[in-house]
Amino acid sequence: MSEERTPPEGADDGDGSTPDPAATPDPAATPNPAATPAPDPGATPDPAPGRSPHGAHGRPSTPRDKWHAFRESPYFPATVLLFILAAAAGLFAGSYTYAMANPTPHRIPAAVIGTPASPRGTAFVTGMEKALDTSLVLHEYDSMAEADEALQEQRVFTILRADNDRVHLDVAAASGASVAQLLAEAGEKVGKAVGVPVTVRDVKPLQPGDPRGLALFYISLAAVILGFVGAIQLSVHARTLVPAERILFTVAHALLGGFAIAAVVDWGLGALDLPFVQSWLILAFTMFTCAMVFTMFNTLVGRWAMLPTWGVMVLLGNPSSGGAVSWPLLPSLLGHIGRWLPPGASVNAQHTAVYYQGHQFLFPYLVLAAWALVSCAVFWTWRHRHPGGRPKEPEHAAAPG
C-alpha cells in the first residue's frame, strides 16, 4: 500500500504553481442550510423600501393623528407666528394712523381774562368753536397773572383776552406744539372772518433745536423700546441670571442706556438743553419700568411675553403718550388712557422737567413707580416660573476635595 503524503507548505503541485490558501473553502464559513430559519408564513411582511406601515397597527392615519403630528412639528409655532406677526403689523399701522394721521380737537381748556362780553369777544369765541369743530372749555380768571399761572401749570392751553379794538390770543407751544399751531391758525382765520384783529403770541416757545416739539417724544420712545428689548436680550443671552442678579443688571442697563440717550441728544446733537441729571434719571426710570414689565409678562406667559409687552408699550402706550400729538387732539379714550401708561408718564415727566421747572407734577413719577413695583412684585413672587435662573445644586453634594 502506498502512503499518501501531504506536500509541505509552499510546495507546488507538480505543475509549478503554488496553491492559494484563500481559494480553499473554510468549512466554518460555509452556510448550513439546516441552520437557516425557515420563513414564518404568518409573519407580516416588511414594507417596501421607502415606505412605512400606516399607524402602529397598520391602520391609516386619521385627521387627529395628522393634527397631533403637526402640533409636535416645528411648522406649528412657525405658522402661528406668521398670523401673529401679520396681525401685529396691521395693528401697529392702524393704531398710529388712528391716533396721529388726522388729529382732531375735542375739548381744549382756555383761560379768559374777565368775561368776553363784548360783541367782538363773543363773536371770536363762537367763531373759534365753529372753526375747531369743538368746544373751548373756558376758565375765567380775574387777572393776567392768574391766567398765566394756569398756563404754567398746564391746566389751560391758551389765554384769551379782548380789548376794545382787538383780541389777544396767547398760546404755549411747549404745552403742545400741535395744539398751539392749531389755535394760532384758527385764530387768524376767525379774526378775518368776524372782522376782529387778532394778535397771536407764543408765550412758551419750544427750544430752537426742537421746533416741532418731537425730540422729547423720540427720547422717551427710545427709552421705552430699548427698555424691554434689553430685558429680552438678558433673557436670551444671560438666561442663567438668578432673580436678584437680573434686577440688578436691569438697573445697570437702564442707567447706562438713559445716560447714553441724554448725552447724545444734549451734548452730541445739541437738539435739547436738558436738565441733564433729571432727564437722565427719568429716562433710566422709564427703561427700568419697561424692562420689568416684560420680565413680569415673561414670568406669567413665558415665550409669548412679547405680545402683551408690545401691546401695552407700543400699540397703545406710544400713540396715546401725547408726545407726537397732544392729548387734546387725540381720540378721547386714548387721551385718558395714555397718562396711566409708562410711555405717557415718561413724556409727561420729561416735558415738565424741560419746560416747566417750577411746576413739576408728581403724578407721572407715581405712574412709573406703580408699574415698576407691580412688575417687580409679580416677578419676585412667581420667580420659580421664570424661564431663567441656574439649577440648584443638591444639598448633599460632596464638596470638592
Neighbours of 246 (CB within 10 A): 24
pLDDT of residue 279: 96
pLDDT of residue 16: 47
Question: How far, in Å, CA of 258 to CA of 252, rounded?
Answer: 10
Give pLDDT tens digits for 309-341.
Answer: 999 999 999 999 988 888 888 887 888 899 999
pLDDT of residue 55: 47
For the chain, give the mean pLDDT.
83
Question: How far, in Å, CA of 315 to CA of 88, rounded?
Answer: 9
The H or E element spanning position 190 is helix 177-194
Of the ranges 26-35, 97-106, 252-261, which one carries the lowest mean pLDDT score?
A: 26-35
Asked if pLDDT for residue 17 goes beyond 50, the answer is no
Asked if pLDDT for residue 358 goes beyond 90, the answer is no
Question: How far, in Å, CA of 313 to CA of 396, rounded?
Answer: 46
Give pLDDT tens digits for 198-220.
Answer: 899 999 999 999 988 899 999 99
Neighbours of 319 (CB within 10 A): 25
Pick 154 or 343 by higher pLDDT: 343
Q: Using CA atoms of 37, 41, 44, 46 in order, give the dihedral in degrees to the nearest 10.
A: 50
Asked if pLDDT for residue 139 goes beyond 60, the answer is yes
Alpha helices in 73-154 (DSSP H): 75-96, 119-132, 144-152
Do 213 and 174 contact (CB within 8 A), yes or no?
yes
Average pLDDT, integer, range 237-253: 93
pLDDT of residue 2: 45
Pick 3 or 346 by higher pLDDT: 346
Give pLDDT tens digits for 159-193.
Answer: 988 877 788 899 999 988 888 988 998 888 988 88
Listed residue (210, 222, 372) closest to 291, CA to CA? 372
